[in-house]
Amino acid sequence: MKSEVFFDLPQKKSELQKIEDQLSSPEIWKDQEKSQSLQRNKKVLEREIHLFSQLIEKKEELEVLAELMEEGEDVHEEITKNLAIFQKEIEEAKLQALFDDADDPLNAILTIHPGAGGTESQDWAQMLLRMYLKYAERKGFKAEVLDMQPGEEAGLKNATVRVLGDHAYGNLSQESGVHRLVRISPFDANKRRHTSFAAVFVYPEVEDNIEIDINPDDLRIDTYRASGRGGQHVNVTDSAVRITHLPSGIVVQCQNERSQHKNKATAMKVLKARLYELAKKKKMEKKEKLEDAKSEIAWGNQIRSYVLHPYRMIKDLRTKVEIGDVDRVLDGDIEEFIKSNLLLRKKNKP
């Protein structure tokens, strides 16, 4: 199958031209929401067209090399090398083609919350945090831990991470849900098997050109001393910031900067992402609301099961994808789960 047909490059160019025609009209700028949506779609299409055009060029280069080989030229090594690169880029392009949501190209805000179970689930939340940080590293994304509340004995009570990179939200959006761990507890002297839960929520980071109306009177802003491990680097000022959005009950906090002003600005960015996601879900008239899912971090809402005992297997409950190399997954190699869920999302779209 030709790559031009698979990716439908002419259609994408046609869609881009239509958007550019709309944006050239002065009337469209009177509708801020519409113009912002068109600009986001334009950016996505331009990136896709550039990627697919490069693939076509590489394909043509391979065809030229194949002709040279037929004429007796010794280009076998060059063809083998270029073909391997081309095949890898085709797989990446197929993944990019699955990003059909307007928010997919954005950065991501990821939060982790342990379920009931004290130290056991808090340790599991810490393991998930490490997994996502490792995943970001593998993808070449930049990950910033904005806030992390450590557990009393081990693990963490909650964590908020900002992930910056091309399609960071598109990649991580399918990770929202409850993750279940089954293992022999390292905190149980009797070495019994325990089941732990932790919830992951992922939000698109709102771009600066997207207006989110926040009434200052709806906010309660508290400052507190940032938590740390002690020693000479302990923060002795109330630089950490907690913002409560009273109408929605959403609470965000940031303590990764020494400056209270910077922490407040970052916390506001997280709040905007949360409110944007909430508004988007309401607009789509989904019955499930994000905050409702937090009411029970337990059996009914789980998306993935990580079993370390009595056997070793990680299974995604939505796509049924199973991976036996649990260490590889916990070290951040979750690409197979992400791709399969993006395929499912595309299949289920009307």
> Considering only 36-40, 68-72, 186-190, which range has the smallest mean pLDDT?
36-40
> SS3 of 139, please?
helix
Output the pLDDT for position 231.
Answer: 41
pLDDT digits (tens, 9 = 90+) for 301-339: 789 999 999 999 999 999 999 999 999 999 999 999 999
Q: How many helices (H) and strands (E) does the chain have?
A: 10, 11
β-bridge partners, 108: 163, 204
> Considering only 45-49, 159-163, 288-292, which range has the smallest mean pLDDT?
288-292
Is pLDDT of 94 > 50?
Answer: yes
Output the pLDDT for position 209.
Answer: 59
Reported in sequence order, the residue ranges of 56-214 that DSSP labels E, i.e. its strands, are: 108-114, 142-150, 156-164, 177-184, 193-204
Rounded distance between C-alpha atoms, residue 52 and residue 61, angstroms: 14
β-bridge partners, 222: 242
Looking at 75, 97, 119, which one is the last position of a domain?
97
Give me the number of domains the chain comprises: 3
Q: Are residues 173 and 60 in the same domain?
A: no
For residue 140 the two structure tokens come to 């070449």
Q: Are residues 223 and 198 in the same domain?
A: no
Q: Are residues 172 and 225 in the same domain?
A: no
For residue 312 the two structure tokens come to 């070793």
Q: Are strands 240-245 and 250-254 parallel, antiparallel or unpaired?
A: antiparallel
Looking at 97, 126, 145, which one is the last position of a domain?
97
Q: Is 42 a domain residue?
A: yes
pTM of the full predicted structure?
A: 0.76
> Considering only 105-109, 156-160, 201-205, 236-240, which range has the smallest mean pLDDT?
236-240
Contacts of 130 (CB under 8 A, 6+ apart): 330
Residue 179 gets which letter from DSSP? E
Domain that holds residue 173: 108-204+295-348
> Considering only 100-109, 130-139, 336-345, which range has the smallest mean pLDDT?
100-109
Q: Which of these, 97, 95, 129, 104, lies nearest to 114 by C-alpha position?
A: 129
Query: At 76, which CATH number?
Result: 1.20.58.410
Is pLDDT of 16 > 70?
Answer: yes
Q: Are residues 255 and 116 in the same domain?
A: no
Q: Which of these, 308, 341, 276, lies nearest to 95 by C-alpha position?
A: 341
Helix axes 32-70, 76-97, angle to 10 degrees: 160
Q: Is 30 a domain residue?
A: yes
Looking at 97, 123, 154, which one is the last position of a domain?
97
Q: Is 290 a domain residue?
A: no
